[in-house]
């Protein structure tokens, strides 16, 4: 009888174990669930597996035995303790010894099992490989707990998104890998506008529910393009590998803002928030995590301070916006105390006879050092402080006072912010302004946006009722840009709708639906017995179209820009209270006046010039003499932005150029190129991986490098 094993008897002597006893011990071992035995052949097929193991998997023996191991099991890469992610096929082919290797069975099922697999290759004395012999045990419960613990350490418990720790680690590893591979990576930083207001008015459970919905919406927008994280509070981050097209990133950011600004149902109530997005891109805006994150943060702050509900790309011009914000807030307080803030008035005109029926009060701030500061820059700063209530109260009082000097048939419209509307003293302030000035309440029109519906709807409805009891009129501004305006029309007592300028800007473009939307809004207002004003009309092609669609009231530059009270009174004194439309035949996208020093590259020469105005399709440039029409140029706009263009007009030291590829919006009223010159291109030319210094380009970008003489004369341009 062959000796198969030994055991020690009760008396201490060694006793030889025969095959039957060995099998009995193995059977007891398997039946007790202490562990299972498995074996494979030289081709990697499973030839033996403990019966209890097969039963635990819920399979028939025929479905297991004879099948390749690599078809039945796979290394689980989600194992937080696994150092190697080499597949099972590699390890078996290499005939590595297996020691508690975590493998997953049933990857294609809803209830997978995890085993710890151990084994060693069986090789005969002549070197012949006979397969594996080993043991296994079920670790499903233990492994699932480990996964849950790992997930808790890396994922946000509220939203299920990655947490700050995981996002930092992911960004570090991505940037390190992409630096050597010369690839790009975009980073989006965002936070929610007015979330604190929802949290305070509706309670923290409602705030948590809203954050969960925000996470779901971000997943639907981003999909599998990148990883989304919640950094804490209402701060979110998105890592987007291999994205550097600022056109695509702008569209994506816009979509995120629109999606997150759609109303939410929270505990049976409606809540509205907004979102602002800051975008930075490696390697242009940073090579390491800290640098790239700071760039995205600066862009985010710039977006918030620029008016909220917008995105912004990082640029080198961005400064410490928090410091700038505080300076602006201090200057704004001083402006109020010194009464240097002004109201200008833009007329609302009846199209049937060109009569002025009302004015909208628009705030103007002429800073002693910085010049004119647009309202969309300083109003958000005021909204972040209590200053907005003082500012709003002053505007209503001054507008009512000025309106008393106009004909009694002319109304005055004043914009009201959501924070001002929610203030407990708002209605009292309106009442006091009317009583102090003696203005008929029906002549005062308060322009509101959908954001007034954030928070407690009962309080909002009560405020509406009190205002209507006073007798003032209510207008819903920016109509059509939100998501559920129709529900507001049903519940709120509005007297007027205002068609947003964004629809007018694109109403004459064939590939847009803006004209149909304008027509629908006008038809809706007529059906509801409301007035409707179309704002932002600048050219006759727009004017003719909206009039054809039924517009009875128009507000826009085609009639007049906003003017100070003195000019309004002069016009009244001269007996003229009608305005004929006057403007260009066709609307052209706004060309911005600028004074920007740029580089102009022609062949192998670089010239310094000044950009005087800029649009998406072209620019006016001063500083070069003798540039023929048709000359091809490359404009260096800074920060790696190169714009290929052709000269269309040339006179003295001024040229007009048309861009080969239109510029795109930077999200905050500015323009930028879709792509930039990668620092990796500079590295290939022997330059360091840093931001592009003006004019330092590889020879291949500057022409033939033949050393020819400059063809144009450069002259100095001074700011005028």
3-class state of residue 359 by DSSP: strand
Query: Using CA atoms, how far apart are residues 617 and 9, in angstroms rounded to an integer?
Result: 97
Domains and CATH numbers, the chain: 33-147 (3.30.450.20), 155-318 (3.30.70.270), 339-500+531-538+550-573 (3.20.20.450), 592-714 (2.40.10)
> Which residue in 580, 501, 496, 482 sits closest to 542, CA to CA?
501
Average pLDDT over every residue of 171-180:
88
Pairing type for strands 473-479 and 444-448 reads parallel
CB atoms within 10 A of CB 419: 21
- Give the residue, 79 or 239, on which the prediction is more confident: 239
pLDDT band at 480 (very low <50, low <70, confident <90, very high): low
Contact present, 655 and 647 (Cβ < 8 Å): yes
Task: Answer yes or no: is pLDDT of 75 > 90.
Answer: no
Instruction: Report the pLDDT value the prediction gives residue 107, as an integer from 0 to 100.
Output: 55
Altogether, the residues listed in the chain come to a count of 720
pLDDT of res. 555: 94
**Paired residues of 85 in beta bridges:** none
Q: Using only the alpha carbons of the chain, give its radius of gyration.
A: 35
- DSSP codes, 456-500: -HHHHHHHHHHHHHHT-EEEEEEETSSS-HHHHHHHS--SEEEE-
At residue 383 the predicted structure's pLDDT band, cuts being 50, 70 and 90, is: confident
| Cβ neighbours of residue 651 closer than 8 Å, sequence gap 6 or more | none
Number of H helices, E strands in the chain: 22, 35
Confidence of residue 193 (pLDDT cuts 50, 70, 90): confident
The helix, strand and coil proportions of the chain, stated in percent and rounded to the nearest 5, come to: 35, 30, 35
Mean pLDDT of 215-223: 95
Query: E strands of 170-245, at which residues?
Result: 185-193, 227-232, 235-241
Residues 660, 215: Cα–Cα separation, whole Å: 39
> What pLDDT sits at residue 676?
85
The pLDDT value given to residue 266: 87
Please determine, for residue 296, whether its predicted confidence score (pLDDT) is greater than 90: yes
How many Cβ atoms sit within 10 Å of the Cβ of residue 609? 25
Chain segment 601-639, per-residue pLDDT in tens: 888 788 999 998 888 889 999 999 999 999 999 898 887
Express each pLDDT in 652-670 by its tens digit. 999 999 999 999 888 766 7
Strand order in 113-123's β-sheet? 46-49, 36-40, 129-138, 113-123, 98-105, 73-75
- What's the CA gap between 484 and 472, in Å, rounded? 24
In which band, very low, low, confident or very high, does the pLDDT at 405 lie, cut at 50, 70 and 90? Answer: very high
- Average of per-residue pLDDT values in the chain: 84
Which range of 26-35, 356-365, 578-587 scores highest in mean pLDDT? It is: 356-365
The pLDDT assigned to 691 comes to 35
């Amino acid at each position: 009888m062959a000796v198969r094993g030994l055991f020690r008897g009760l008396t201490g002597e060694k006793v030889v174990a025969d095959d039957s006893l060995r099998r009995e011990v193995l059977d007891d071992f398997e039946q007790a669930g202490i562990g299972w035995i498995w074996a494979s052949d030289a081709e990697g097929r499973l030839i033996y597996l403990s019966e209890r193991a097969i039963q635990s998997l819920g399979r028939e023996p025929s479905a297991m035995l004879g099948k390749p191991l690599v078809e039945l099991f796979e290394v689980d890469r989600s194992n937080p303790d696994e150092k190697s992610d080499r597949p099972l096929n590699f390890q078996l082919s290499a005939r590595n010894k297996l020691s508690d290797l975590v493998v997953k069975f049933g990857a294609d099922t809803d209830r997978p099992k995890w085993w710890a697999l151990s084994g060693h290759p069986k090789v005969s004395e002549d070197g012949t490989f006979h397969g594996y012999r080993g043991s296994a045990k079920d670790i499903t419960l233990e492994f699932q707990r480990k996964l849950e613990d790992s997930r808790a350490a890396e994922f946000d418990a509220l939203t299920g998104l990655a947490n700050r720790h995981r996002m930092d680690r992911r960004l570090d590893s991505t940037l390190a890998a992409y630096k050597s591979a010369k690839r790009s990576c975009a980073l989006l930083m965002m936070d929610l506008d007015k979330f604190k207001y929802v949290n305070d008015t509706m309670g923290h459970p409602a705030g948590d529910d809203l954050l969960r919905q925000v996470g779901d919406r971000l997943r639907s927008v981003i999909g599998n393009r990148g990883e989304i994280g919640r950094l804490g509070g209402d701060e979110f981050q998105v890592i987007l590998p291999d994205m550097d097209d600022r056109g695509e990133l702008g569209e994506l950011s816009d979509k995120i803002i629109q999606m997150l600004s759609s109303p939410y149902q929270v505990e049976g109530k409606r809540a509205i928030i907004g979102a602002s997005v800051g975008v930075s891109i490696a390697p242009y805006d940073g090579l390491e995590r800290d640098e790239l994150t700071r760039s995205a943060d600066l862009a985010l702050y710039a977006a918030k301070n620029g008016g909220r509900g917008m995105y912004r790309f990082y640029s080198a011009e961005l400064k410490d916006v928090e410091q700038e914000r505080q300076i602006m807030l201090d200057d704004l307080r001083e402006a109020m105390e010194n009464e240097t803030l002004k109201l200008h008035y833009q007329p609302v005109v009846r199209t049937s006879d060109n009569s002025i029926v009302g004015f909208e009060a628009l705030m103007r701030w002429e800073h002693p050092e910085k010049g004119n500061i647009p309202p969309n820059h300083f109003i958000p700063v005021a909204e972040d402080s209590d200053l907005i209530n003082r500012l709003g109260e002053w505007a209503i009082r001054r507008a009512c006072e000025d309106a008393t000097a106009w004909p009694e048939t002319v109304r005055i419209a004043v914009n009201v912010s959501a924070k001002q509307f929610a203030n407990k003293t708002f209605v009292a302030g309106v009442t006091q302004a009317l009583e102090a000035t003696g203005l008929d309440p029906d002549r005062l029109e308060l322009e509101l946006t959908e954001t007034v519906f954030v928070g407690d709807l009962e309080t909002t409805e009560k405020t509406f009722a009190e205002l209507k009891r006073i007798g003032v009129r209510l207008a819903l501004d920016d109509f059509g840009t939100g998501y559920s305006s129709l529900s507001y029309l049903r519940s709120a007592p509005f007297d007027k709708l205002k068609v947003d300028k964004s629809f007018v800007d694109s109403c004459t473009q064939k590939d847009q639906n803006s004209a149909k939307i304008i027509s629908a809004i006008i038809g809706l207002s007529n059906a509801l017995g409301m007035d409707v004003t179309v704002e932002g009309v600048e050219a006759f092609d727009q004017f003719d179209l909206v009039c054809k669609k039924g517009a009875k009231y128009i507000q826009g530059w085609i009639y007049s820009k906003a003017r100070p009270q003195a000019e309004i009174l002069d016009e009244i004194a001269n007996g003229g209270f009608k305005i004929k439309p006057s403007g260009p035949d066709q609307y052209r996208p706004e060309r911005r006046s600028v004074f920007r020093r740029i580089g102009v590259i022609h062949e192998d020469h670089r010239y310094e010039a000044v950009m005087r105005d800029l649009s998406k399709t072209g620019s006016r440039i001063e500083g070069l003499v003798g540039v023929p029409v048709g000359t091809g140029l490359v404009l260096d706009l800074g920060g790696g932005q190169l714009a290929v263009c052709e000269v269309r007009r040339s006179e003295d030291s001024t040229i007009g150029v048309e861009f080969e590829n239109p510029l795109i919006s930077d999200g905050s009223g500015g323009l930028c190129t879709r792509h930039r010159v990668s620092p990796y291109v500079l590295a290939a030319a022997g330059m360091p991986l840093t931001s592009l210094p003006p004019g330092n380009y590889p020879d291949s970008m500057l022409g033939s490098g033949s050393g020819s003489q400059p063809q144009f004369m450069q002259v100095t341009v001074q700011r005028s």
